[in-house]
């Protein structure tokens, strides 16, 4: 998992409340568990004018000109600005996989669905909760100023605007450490690899029949 310290990126506004995980990555794309390659199908039903299927080449597909991510001004965005209850619905981990594969490294919203919120941290995305009035103000700025950037300083736990307004945010200390150090669940387990090996060697002696 990539380390997350300071991110300075273009902001894309998704002005919809209650965006569920089926909208983020539709159910037909859940067959793969490779954790990569889902970016072209992020928000598939909103992004394209036809029905997408796994393995389909998305390059020639007709784009929906009214969808925010198809607008040139948001090309290369790495911060998604969203409304309340983002990531609701089913608990599919493919949703943060698709967001990360597209290029989003942080999501700012007034609230998130709990399971989606947890899955973001496990996959290297920083979900930030800010007050609704602050999020609404940021929406106005993003729409008014093409190429609008935000800086997210995770060690300092701050969102910083181009005019140096600072919005502090809360984040669990352990989750913060994992993002800053780039540690997912597998990396955390491998920190104890010597203890695991010692335990397995001891069990082979204590209960050899389990290893036949």
The proportion of the chain whose per-residue pLDDT surpasses 70, expressed as a percent, equals: 100
CATH of the domain at 142: 3.20.19.10
Alpha carbons within 13 angstroms on the beta-carbon side of residue 48 total: 20
Residue 187 placed within a domain:
no
Q: Is residue 204 part of a domain?
A: no
d(CA 80, CA 15): 10
pLDDT at 122: 94
Distance CA 164, CA 5 (A): 18
* CA–CA separation, 121 and 110 (whole Å): 17
Residue 179 has pLDDT above 90, yes or no: yes
Q: Print the domain residue range for 142.
A: 6-181
Contact by Cβ (8 Å): 67, 97:
no
In a domain, 190, yes or no: no
Residues 149 and 47: their CA atoms lie apart, in Å, by: 23
Residue 166 lies in a domain: yes
Give Dmax (Cα) for the chain.
Answer: 69
Rounded to an integer, the average pLDDT of 12-28 is 97
pLDDT category, 185, cuts 50, 70, 90?
A: confident
Residues 118-145, mean pLDDT to the nearest whole number: 97
Q: What is the pLDDT of residue 114?
A: 97
pLDDT at site 98: 97
d(CA 166, CA 151): 10
For residue 210, tell me if it sits in a domain. no
Mean pLDDT score, 28-42: 90
What lies within 8 Å, CB to CB, of 77 at 6+ separation is: 9, 10, 11, 12, 69, 103, 104
User: In whole angstroms, what is the distance from residue 19 CA to residue 85 CA?
Assistant: 7
Phi, psi (rounded to 5 degrees) for 128: -115, 130
Residue 138 in this model has a pLDDT that exceeds 90: yes
**Structurally, how many domains does the chain consist of?**
1
Instruction: Say whether pLDDT at 203 is over 90.
Output: no
Q: How far apart (Å, rounded) are the C-alpha atoms in residues 45 and 61?
A: 12
Q: Is position 201 within any domain? A: no
In a domain, 139, yes or no: yes
Task: Identify whether 207 is part of a domain.
Answer: no
* Stronger pLDDT, 203 or 187, i.e. the higher one: 203
């Amino acid at each position: 998992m990539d380390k997350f310290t300071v991110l300075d990126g273009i902001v894309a506004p998704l002005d919809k409340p209650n965006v569920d995980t089926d909208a983020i990555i539709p159910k037909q794309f859940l067959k793969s568990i490779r954790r990569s390659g889902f970016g072209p199908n992020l928000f598939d039903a909103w992004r394209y004018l036809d029905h997408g299927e796994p393995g389909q080449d998305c390059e020639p597909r007709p784009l929906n000109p009214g969808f925010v991510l198809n607008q040139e001004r948001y090309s290369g965005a790495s911060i998604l600005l969203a409304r309340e209850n983002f990531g609701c619905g089913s608990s599919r981990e493919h949703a943060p996989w698709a967001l990360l594969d597209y290029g989003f490294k942080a999501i700012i919203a007034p609230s998130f669905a709990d399971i989606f919120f947890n899955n973001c941290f496990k996959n290297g995305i920083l979900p930030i909760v800010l007050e609704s009035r602050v999020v609404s103000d940021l929406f106005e700025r993003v729409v008014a100023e093409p190429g609008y950037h935000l800086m997210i300083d995770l060690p300092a736990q701050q969102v910083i605007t181009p005019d140096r307004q600072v919005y502090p945010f809360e984040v669990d200390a352990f989750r913060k450490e994992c993002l800053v150090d780039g540690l997912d669940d597998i990396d955390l387990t491998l920190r104890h690899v010597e203890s695991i090996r010692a335990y397995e060697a001891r069990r082979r002696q204590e209960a050899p029949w389990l290893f036949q």
